[in-house]
Amino acid sequence: MSRSVRALRLKLSRHAGFQTYAGSRQYRSTFAPITVLEALEAISERNPELNAFASHITPAEANASESSEGPLMDWPIAVKANIATARSSVTSCASRALYAYTSPFQATVVDSLERAGAAVVGKTNMDEFGMGSKNKFSIYGSALNPHTPALVAKQDGMTELDRHTPGGSSGGSAAAVAAGMCRAALGSDTGGSVRLPAAWCGVVGFKPTFGRISRHGLVAYGSSLDTVGIMARDVADVQSVFDIVAVPDPLDMTCMTSSLRARIKALASSRPWITQAHGPNRSESAPLAEIRVGIPEEYWVNELSEPALESWRAGASRLAALGCEVVSVSLPHTPSALPAYYALAWAEASSNLARYDGIRYGRRSDIRPDTRNLQNASQKYANTRGEGFGAEVQRRILLGTYVMSSAASEHYFTPSQKIRRLIQEEFDNVFALPNALSATQPLALSASRPLGVDVLLFPTATGAAPRLSDQEDSRVANYVNDVMTVPASLAGIPAISIPAGHADGMPLGLQLAAQYGDDDLLLCVARHL
Ligand code: GLN
């Protein structure tokens, strides 16, 4: 069935009051749905200004494409440029090294979405290979935050650098959702790249538990941290996409098996102290009455702005009003998370990006050195990699290689691994639910409520989106943007950013995090908040 016929049928079925589809839970979005054709109209109107898409399909292509009927029928979805899509679009990772690369296979997540009826409307702008927080390290140039009105930009004589960043690295995906150019978007989150841009663009950004969504077809940055994440205007739409893509995948050996998923489900539903939040007898006035929320003391960092603090307080009060018990908790190793993250992510990146040598993958330099001696032959690799990678990626490859060298690993790599383990243990200590990965915990929990919290609440970033020109010279200040997001990445636990107020007209985000595997409870609390 062609897309326009399907769109019509969908419109009719909405009139007839059909809200659910056989075989799938439906979460009702508070927003009017965006159809594929509406998204493509918005793209042609807004993308020239926002630069959110690296490539997109045309209405004619959308009409000609066949797709299945399913729970995501006629959902326009944007996909980050580091997730492989097979048909007619490049998987460039916003890098010169892969600028014309088309993948011979498609990511499992994209297959799942298409099978459910969704249409991929385009590939989104990003920081090269996912490395950055402002979407400015990109061969396509920066994407812009839709919350800076273009007219104001002209009247004030602002240059493009004075516009606000959408955040990164999945900046194009967040901008696309915020500007109505898609209904949901896929991004990747290694240390915060879904949550940070979601917060800065005023949309929802969800990083599930590590291993929950297949990464087959996601181009690797830091393999022990990389996750596929979901963005949408509200939690209901995020959940609808999550239900489709959070399935086992034999093509990804790091994707949770069915038996681990079953174990997690059994554990989460055996919590005697939480019955209401999921159950039919939920109280209208206090729907989260059995949930205990932790406020981690160590997240009160110096860099936290007054509006972010205010939004955090308001979020805690709101959860209390929904019936939650709000308590203070301590995660003492939080201050070490950022340096540990960067040491580990760079080390993994230096090894993952070794494959872009112009032979196995990537464009090859045209400069022809005299290859009669060996030194000149290796010059070919140096030219290829020097031309293919941008300055930030080169810096990280060099530092990551150094971090793993025999001279430096005991000072950087090994301590960072230890810090990571301590951070994981600290999270296990504050959550009431045991970690499903620890072998010793009993499957049947005691009837009384244990000490410990069900979710944690803290800001997604220290403030609202900076202008592209801010912090221009300070790399460290740029890395500090990730201070609130990397601990959950190191621990592999689920975390979600939801819109929570504004500072000078720019959106702020609040983050909720939960125990490993407790994604459903996290989404439930986020939906209420
Ligand atoms: N900003 C972080 C980094 O540059 C996070 C990136 C990500 O999550 N892909 O490493």
For position 14, what pLDDT does the model report?
36
Residue 346 CB–ligand 1 contact under 6 Å: no
pLDDT band at 151 (very low <50, low <70, confident <90, very high): low
pLDDT band at 477 (very low <50, low <70, confident <90, very high): confident
For position 1, what pLDDT does the model report?
47
**CB atoms near residue 296 (< 10 Å):** 21
Distance 338 CA to ligand 1 centre (A): 11
Residue 253 has pLDDT above 50, yes or no: yes
Residue 478 CB–ligand 1 contact under 6 Å: no
Q: Is residue 271 part of a domain?
A: no
For position 445, what pLDDT does the model report?
63
For position 159, what pLDDT does the model report?
73
Distance 231 CA to ligand 1 centre (A): 16
- Taking a C-beta distance cutoff of 8 angstroms, is the pair 190, 225 a contact? yes
SS3 at position 207: strand
For position 37, what pLDDT does the model report?
95
Residue 193 has pLDDT above 90, yes or no: yes
- Which of 115-129, 151-165, 419-433, 455-469 is predicted with the least confidence, judged by mean pLDDT? 151-165
Q: Is residue 345 part of a domain?
A: no
Residue 182 has pLDDT above 80, yes or no: yes
pLDDT band at 273 (very low <50, low <70, confident <90, very high): confident
| Ligand 1 mutation pick, 125, 135, 137, 169, max ligand atoms within 8 A of CB | 169
Distance 222 CA to ligand 1 centre (A): 9
Dihedrals φ, ψ of 514, to 5°?
Answer: -140, 175
pLDDT band at 257 (very low <50, low <70, confident <90, very high): very high
Residue 170 structure tokens = 């999945």
Q: Is residue 184 part of a domain?
A: yes
pLDDT band at 13 (very low <50, low <70, confident <90, very high): very low
Residue 191 CB–ligand 1 contact under 6 Å: yes
Asked, as a colleague might, if the bond just before 169 is cis with ω within 30 of 0, I would say yes
For position 444, what pLDDT does the model report?
59
Average pLDDT over residues 292-317: 96
Q: Is residue 500 part of a domain?
A: yes
SS3 at position 427: helix
pLDDT band at 89 (very low <50, low <70, confident <90, very high): confident
pLDDT band at 145 (very low <50, low <70, confident <90, very high): very high
pLDDT band at 411 (very low <50, low <70, confident <90, very high): very high
- Which of 59-73, 226-240, 481-495 is predicted with the least confidence, judged by mean pLDDT? 59-73
pLDDT band at 44 (very low <50, low <70, confident <90, very high): very high
* DSSP per-residue string spanning 150-216: HHHHHHTT--GGGSBP--SSSHHHHHHHHTTS-SEEEEEESSSTTHHHHHHHTSEEEE--TTSS--T
Q: Is residue 494 part of a domain?
A: yes
Average pLDDT over residues 245-252: 98
Host domain of residue 214: 33-264+464-528
Q: Is residue 107 part of a domain?
A: yes
* DSSP per-residue string spanning 93-133: TT-GGGTT---SS--HHHHHHHHTT-EEEEEE--SGGG--S
Residue 7 has pLDDT above 70, yes or no: no
Residue 23 has pLDDT above 50, yes or no: no
Distance 236 CA to ligand 1 centre (A): 26
SS3 at position 421: helix
Residue 130 CB–ligand 1 contact under 6 Å: yes
For ligand 1, atom 10: residue with the closest CA: 131
- Helices 413-430 and 337-352 cross at an angle (nearest 10°) of 120
Residue 192 CB–ligand 1 contact under 6 Å: yes
Nearest by Cα to 144 from 116, 180, 172: 172
Residue 347 has pLDDT above 70, yes or no: yes
For position 236, what pLDDT does the model report?
97
Give me the percent of the chain exceeding a pLDDT of 70.
87
For position 451, what pLDDT does the model report?
83
**pLDDT digit string (tens) for 389-401?**
999 999 999 999 9
Q: For the domain that residue 112 is a member of, what is the CATH number?
A: 3.90.1300.10
Give me the percent of the chain exceeding a pLDDT of 90.
72
- Helices 337-352 and 391-403 cross at an angle (nearest 10°) of 100
For position 371, what pLDDT does the model report?
61
Higher pLDDT, 142 or 364: 142
Residue 234 CB–ligand 1 contact under 6 Å: no
Q: Mean pLDDT for the chain?
A: 89
| Ligand 1 mutation pick, 346, 482, 484, max ligand atoms within 8 A of CB | 482
pLDDT band at 366 (very low <50, low <70, confident <90, very high): confident
pLDDT band at 315 (very low <50, low <70, confident <90, very high): very high
Residue 491 has pLDDT above 60, yes or no: yes
Locate the ligand 1 atom nearest the alpha carbon of residue 486 and give its number: 5
Average pLDDT over residues 327-333: 97
Q: Is residue 126 part of a domain?
A: yes
- Taking a C-beta distance cutoff of 8 angstroms, is the pair 238, 204 a contact? yes
Work out how many domains the chain is built from and give that number.
1
For position 15, what pLDDT does the model report?
33
User: What's the longest Cα–Cα distance across the chain?
Assistant: 79
Q: Is residue 276 part of a domain?
A: no
Identity of the residue numbered 204: V
Residues labelled as active-site residues: 80, 169, 193
